[in-house]
């Protein structure tokens, strides 16, 4: 017997999670509630695997989990709306998918008898179909009441995932870490592509040229670890190349280069770069900051 799951919010995250759990054969039933009259064009609905409800409805008896996959800024309003529908079905847990918020926002549902918690996939869900393919094997931040976390861990296990226990007070730090790792990666690629175009590369070729480099770096990190995967002039202690970069970079890009360079020096030191070169590199980055201030 699988879980009977209701998801409020058929967006990218909600659809990817539901689709992944359905593909894992973890669900007995799957229902979505959405704000549009018709369901999204998604295999779950096209192939008849999920039921769609326009608006909200009280979870049916036997529902084991209610998942609120809505933006943080509308979550309190949605919680109140669901709570207004009545008491929880017996044994039903309610979760939000926010990485930053605690379970306190679910208090109106707790008052209605729901066991409350949160489940946040540490994964980039940019598409409601391919996102489901990325979820198996991912890590998930799980918190809340013991009955709710038990349900959450069961869902995570169905996806061959690993739960992360994050103290409530540190959820914002957890979410900031996720933002840096996921959201800022495209930003870094955009900056690199901009510099490549300035070097004379055609704009249409810049990102395709950089993607294999970035993939290779991530694979090196997975295989070797952070410090051993660091390559380039900082890892080698190539001081003059760093100075040359800082001379030619536009100021906007140079600021980011300096900030990231200081972090890279820490990894280079851990990798075994000699202390004299580490000191020179730190001085270069700090002096450049002072000069640009």
Q: Is 187 exposed, middle or buried (0-12, 13-18, 19+ CB in 10 A)?
A: exposed
Which sign does the torsion angle of CA 180, 223, 207, 17 carry? negative
Pair (152, 206) in one structural domain:
no
Sequence-distant (6+) residues with CB within 8 A of 197 are 203, 206
DSSP-based three-state secondary structure for 267: helix
Q: What is the CA radius of gyration of the chain?
A: 24
> How many whole angstroms separate alpha carbon 23 and alpha carbon 16?
10
Pair (15, 150) in one structural domain:
yes
What are the backbone angles phi and psi of residue 187, rounded to the nearest 5°? -65, -45
Claim: this prediction has a pTM higher than 0.85: yes
- Structural domains of the chain, count: 2
Pair (10, 155) in one structural domain:
yes
Pair (87, 150) in one structural domain:
yes
**What residue ranges of the chain have pLDDT lower than 50?**
289-293
Give the HSE-up count for residue 53: Cα atoms under 13 Å, Cβ half-sphere: 14
- The domain that contains 200 carries what CATH number? 1.10.1040
Residues 45 and 52: beta-carbon distance below 8 Å: yes
The whole-angstrom distance between residue 174's C-alpha and the CA centroid of its chain comes to 10
Which pLDDT tens digit goes with each residue over 67-107?
999 999 999 999 999 999 999 999 999 999 999 999 999 99
> How many whole angstroms separate alpha carbon 64 and alpha carbon 90?
8
pLDDT for the residue numbered 77: 97
Residues 114 and 67: beta-carbon distance below 8 Å: no
Q: Which of 166, 196, 222 is the last residue of a domain?
A: 166
Q: Which of 137, 166, 195 is the last residue of a domain?
A: 166
Pair (137, 57) in one structural domain:
yes
Pair (66, 190) in one structural domain:
no
**Opening angle at CA 72, ends 189 and 34, nearest 5:** 100
Pair (109, 249) in one structural domain:
no
Residues 230 and 278: beta-carbon distance below 8 Å: no
Of the candidates 131, 153, 125, which has an alpha carbon nearest to the alpha carbon of residue 20?
A: 131
Pair (69, 132) in one structural domain:
yes
What are the backbone angles phi and psi of residue 96, rounded to the nearest 5°? -110, 165
> How many whole angstroms separate alpha carbon 293 and alpha carbon 287?
10
Pair (249, 181) in one structural domain:
yes
Pair (151, 203) in one structural domain:
no
- The domain that contains 38 carries what CATH number? 3.40.50.720
Pair (147, 202) in one structural domain:
no
What are the backbone angles phi and psi of residue 273, rounded to the nearest 5°? -60, 135
Our CA dihedral for 21, 23, 29, 30, rounded to 10 degrees, sits at 60
> How many whole angstroms separate alpha carbon 284 and alpha carbon 286?
6
User: How far are the Cα atoms of 32, 61, 66, 83, 101 from residue 112, in angstroms, in the given order?
Assistant: 21, 14, 13, 6, 20
pLDDT for the residue numbered 293: 40
Pair (158, 186) in one structural domain:
no
> How many whole angstroms separate alpha carbon 83 and alpha carbon 264?
49
User: 185 lies in which domain range?
Assistant: 174-292
Q: Which of 100, 131, 166 is the last residue of a domain?
A: 166
């Amino acid at each position: 017997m699988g879980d009977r799951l209701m998801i409020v919010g058929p967006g990218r995250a909600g659809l990817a999670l539901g689709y992944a759990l359905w593909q894992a054969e973890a669900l007995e039933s799957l229902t979505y509630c959405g704000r549009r009259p018709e369901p999204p064009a998604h295999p779950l609905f096209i192939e008849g695997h999920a039921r769609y409800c326009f608006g909200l409805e009280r979870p049916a008896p036997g529902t084991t989990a209610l998942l609120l996959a809505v933006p943080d800024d509308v979550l309190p309003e949605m919680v109140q709306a669901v709570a207004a529908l009545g008491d929880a079905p017996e044994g039903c847990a309610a979760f939000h998918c926010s990485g930053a918020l605690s379970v306190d926002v679910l208090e109106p549902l707790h008052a209605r008898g729901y066991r409350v918690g949160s489940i946040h996939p540490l994964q980039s869900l940019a598409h409601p179909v391919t996102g489901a393919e990325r979820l198996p094997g991912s890590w998930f931040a799980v918190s809340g009441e013991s009955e709710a976390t038990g349900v959450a861990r069961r869902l995570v296990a169905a996806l061959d995932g690993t739960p992360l226990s994050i103290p409530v007070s540190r959820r914002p730090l957890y979410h900031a870490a996720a933002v840096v790792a996921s959201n800022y990666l495209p930003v870094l690629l955009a900056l690199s592509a901009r510099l490549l175009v300035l070097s004379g590369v055609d704009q249409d070729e810049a990102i395709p040229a950089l993607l294999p480099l970035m993939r290779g770096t991530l694979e090196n990190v997975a295989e070797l670890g952070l410090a051993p995967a660091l390559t380039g002039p900082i890892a080698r202690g190539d001081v003059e190349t760093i100075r040359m970069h800082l001379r030619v970079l536009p100021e906007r890009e140079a600021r980011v280069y300096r900030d990231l360079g200081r972090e890279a020096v820490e990894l280079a030191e851990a990798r075994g770069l000699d202390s004299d070169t580490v000191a020179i590199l730190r001085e270069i980055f700090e002096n450049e900051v002072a000069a640009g201030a």
